[in-house]
Amino acid sequence: MNLELIWRKRPYYEEAAPTWVRKIWSRPQAFDHFVKKYRLRLTEEGAVIKIGRDYFVVSEKFPAIATEILGLSSDLRGEITHAS
């Protein structure tokens, strides 16, 4: 695993996540709730990993797995990213 691709949840949300992440979860707390609610699936799919007692987001995998969980198509994901 490339350690450059893992982020703590808050910095990922604020700095590295695609724009659509902040449009769907308008507050970091809402993003945290999503990660907590779907932690098992996100971990199984490799979108989130546990290091010690903390969970980290894997930036190259999280967007695809999250959109799959949300039931969003890749086309819609692009619309969310480019919407004003």
pLDDT of residue 82: 44
Phi, psi for residue 28 in degrees, rounded to 5: -55, -30
Contacts of 46 by beta carbon, 8 Å cutoff, 6+ apart: 58, 61, 65
pLDDT, tens digit only, all 84 positions of the chain:
788 899 999 999 999 999 999 999 999 999 999 999 999 999 999 999 999 999 999 999 999 999 999 998 665 545 554 443
Expressed as residue numbers, the domain containing 29 is: 3-82
* Number of domains, the chain: 1
pLDDT of residue 83: 44
pLDDT of residue 51: 95
Query: Roughly how many angstroms between the first and final C-alpha of the chain, as a whole number?
Result: 35
Q: Is 1 exposed, middle or buried (0-12, 13-18, 19+ CB in 10 A)?
A: exposed
Side chain identity, residue 3: L
Global pTM exceeds 0.85? no
